[in-house]
């Protein structure tokens, strides 16, 4: 996988190379975004490592910037397996610019953009193991930049999920703001976005993806987040949740609009002294847990959307993973309880907002708009089949999620 060399203009130090790799190191997951030129271009490389795909691109008046065509790739690792991530970066040579691949002198200072708390927590580790200096970007800046980028530049990025149906949303660039961005990671941040770089983190909740995974692991011994989600498919939440009908003897509490199947108390039936933890099906536990957390996030999200008069709520982060029950619960919580005032929307590259935003921050020389024009999305319809969008873990590449694009090189 070739990578074009990418330098911030004005940097004349040959020993300092920035690469087409950015990281978002969160509490539970490390997200990577990296650019590679299309395969098979090695033979065309000139002595500076520029591929034959390069051509002179846009000029901003002072200099022209050659354009490299390729793809943006997405990958993730569990934060606790950070060494696997380091190995991946090393073997794929993601941190190395073209110059180095030709056997030139070792680079002493490789600078990689990184966001998330781990950019601080693991700065030393990256230095020691790979000689990488992490250039830290603010987490919220990156989430918003990544979201704005995806919504404006990538075709069919956002979609609604109602009554079991996915529907892509056409984003009007002139009517994008304001919106509420809800990023569901280990924890949840809720950000009111009013423009490029114009935002405020207005809320959040500590009942997030980490809570689902942590409680789920304690209650079911699942080995992974995906395993827990898989379990929830077959579960029945009525075994463990106390419904309005359970309290009211089978009827609705219609006077206040609560149907008999509304959950009155999540896990409310588990107070029964007739059953112990091992007597419950892990599928039912997983389902109740997923419902409880999804519904709660949906509720706090719509309360904040109402608070600020926001009509659209975009959900990011790796909690959702295209899981039907999750999206349904969140969409219903938002749409129903806001009486249709607010709409829930999901993002295909949901978990990569931060890493994308960090990637965008390489481009601080004002060419952002031009770069956007070069992006075309290769998006085969087949990846919509079924109710899951696969987001592979631990280094596997899913080319269906990669984005064809060009980057400027100097």
The footprint of a copy of itself on residues 252-281 (CB under 8 A) is: 253, 255-256, 262-271, 273, 276-277, 280
Our separate counts of H helices and E strands in the chain read: 12, 16
Q: Are strands 343-347 and 312-316 parallel, antiparallel or unpaired?
A: parallel
Minimal distance in Å, beta carbon 78 to a copy of itself? 9
Phi, psi dihedrals of residue 122, rounded to the nearest 5°? -110, 15
Minimal distance in Å, beta carbon 327 to a copy of itself? 19
Minimal distance in Å, beta carbon 284 to a copy of itself? 11
17 interacts with a copy of itself by CB under 8 A: no
Minimal distance in Å, beta carbon 261 to a copy of itself? 12
139 interacts with a copy of itself by CB under 8 A: yes
Residue 101, preceding peptide bond in cis (omega within 30° of 0): no
Which positions from 32 through 61 interact with a copy of itself, judged by CB under 8 A?
A: none
Phi, psi dihedrals of residue 238, rounded to the nearest 5°? -70, -10
Of 93, 201, 238, 311, the one binding a copy of itself (CB under 8 A) is 201
Minimal distance in Å, beta carbon 397 to a copy of itself? 25
Query: For residue 220, what are the contacts with CB-CB under 8 A and spacing of at least 6?
Result: 228, 231, 282, 285, 286
155 interacts with a copy of itself by CB under 8 A: no
- Binding pattern to a copy of itself, positions 390-409, x when CB under 8 A? --------------------
Specify the stretch interacting with a copy of itself by CB under 8 A; choose among 13-21, 96-104, 135-143, 386-394.
135-143
Which positions from 234 through 253 interact with a copy of itself, judged by CB under 8 A?
A: 240-242, 244, 246-251, 253
Q: Which is nearer to a copy of itself, 171 or 219 (CB)?
A: 219
Q: Which is nearer to a copy of itself, 59 or 251 (CB)?
A: 251
Q: Could you say which DSSP state residue 268 is in?
A: G
Of 299, 370, 376, 400, the one binding a copy of itself (CB under 8 A) is 299
How many angstroms separate the most distant Cα atoms in the chain? 80
300 interacts with a copy of itself by CB under 8 A: yes
d(CA 57, CA 172): 27
Give the number of other Cβ atoms within 10 Å of residue 31's Cβ: 30
Beta partners for residue 74, in sequence order: 33
Side-chain half-sphere exposure of 265, counting CA atoms within 13 A: 9
d(CA 16, CA 247): 67
Residue 96, preceding peptide bond in cis (omega within 30° of 0): no
Specify the stretch interacting with a copy of itself by CB under 8 A; choose among 69-77, 163-171, 292-300, 356-364.
292-300
Of 304, 329, 338, 406, the one binding a copy of itself (CB under 8 A) is 304
Residue with the two structure tokens 């790739």 = 73
Interface with a copy of itself: number of residues (CB under 8 A): 72
Minimal distance in Å, beta carbon 380 to a copy of itself? 33
Structure tokens at 72: 């943006």
HEC letters along 342-382: CEEEEECCHHHHHHHHHHHCCCCCCCHHHHHHCCECCCCHH
- Binding pattern to a copy of itself, positions 72-111, x when CB under 8 A? --------x-------------------------------
Handedness of CA 286, 214, 273, 279 (dihedral sign): positive
Of 186, 329, 361, 406, the one binding a copy of itself (CB under 8 A) is 186
Minimal distance in Å, beta carbon 300 to a copy of itself? 7
């Amino acid at each position: 996988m070739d990578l074009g060399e990418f330098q911030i203009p004005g940097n004349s130090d040959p020993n300092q190379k920035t690469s087409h790799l950015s990281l978002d190191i969160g509490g539970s997951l490390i997200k990577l975004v990296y650019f590679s030129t299309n395969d098979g271009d090695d033979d065309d490389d000139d002595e500076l490592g520029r591929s034959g795909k390069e051509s002179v691109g846009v000029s901003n008046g002072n200099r022209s910037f050659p354009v490299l065509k390729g793809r943006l790739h997405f990958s993730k690792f569990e934060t606790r397996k950070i060494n696997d991530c380091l190995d991946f970066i090393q073997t794929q040579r993601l941190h190395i610019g073209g110059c180095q691949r030709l056997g030139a002198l070792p680079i002493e200072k490789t600078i990689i953009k990184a966001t998330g708390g781990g950019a601080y927590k693991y700065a030393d580790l990256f230095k020691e193991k790979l000689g990488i200096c992490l250039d830290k970007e603010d987490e919220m800046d990156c989430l918003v930049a990544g979201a704005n980028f995806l919504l404006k530049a990538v075709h069919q990025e956002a979609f609604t999920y109602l009554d079991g149906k996915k529907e892509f949303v056409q984003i009007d660039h002139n009517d994008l703001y304001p919106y509420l961005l809800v990023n569901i990671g280990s924890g949840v941040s809720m950000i009111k976005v009013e423009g490029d770089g114009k935002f405020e983190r207005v809320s959040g909740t500590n009942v997030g993806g980490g809570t689902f995974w942590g409680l789920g692991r304690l209650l079911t011994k699942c080995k992974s987040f995906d395993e827990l989600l898989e379990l929830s498919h077959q579960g029945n939440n009525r075994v463990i949740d106390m419904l309005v009908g359970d309290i009211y003897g089978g009827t609705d509490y219609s006077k206040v609009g609560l149907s008999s199947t509304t959950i009155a108390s999540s896990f409310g039936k588990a107070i029964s002294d007739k059953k112990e933890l091992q007597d419950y099906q892990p599928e039912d536990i997983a389902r109740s847990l997923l419902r409880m957390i999804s519904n709660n996030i949906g509720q706090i999200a719509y309360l904040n959307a109402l608070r600020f008069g926001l009509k659209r709520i975009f959900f990011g982060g790796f909690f959702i993973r295209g899981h039907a029950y999750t999206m349904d619960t969140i969409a219903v919580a938002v749409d129903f309880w806001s009486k249709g005032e607010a709409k829930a929307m999901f993002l295909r590259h949901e978990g990569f907002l931060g890493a994308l935003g960090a990637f965008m921050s390489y481009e601080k020389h004002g060419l952002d708009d031009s770069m956007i024009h070069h992006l075309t999305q290769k998006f085969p319809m087949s990846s919509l089949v079924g109710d899951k969008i696969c987001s592979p873990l631990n280094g596997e590449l899913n080319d269906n999620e990669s984005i064809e694009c060009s980057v400027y090189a100097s």
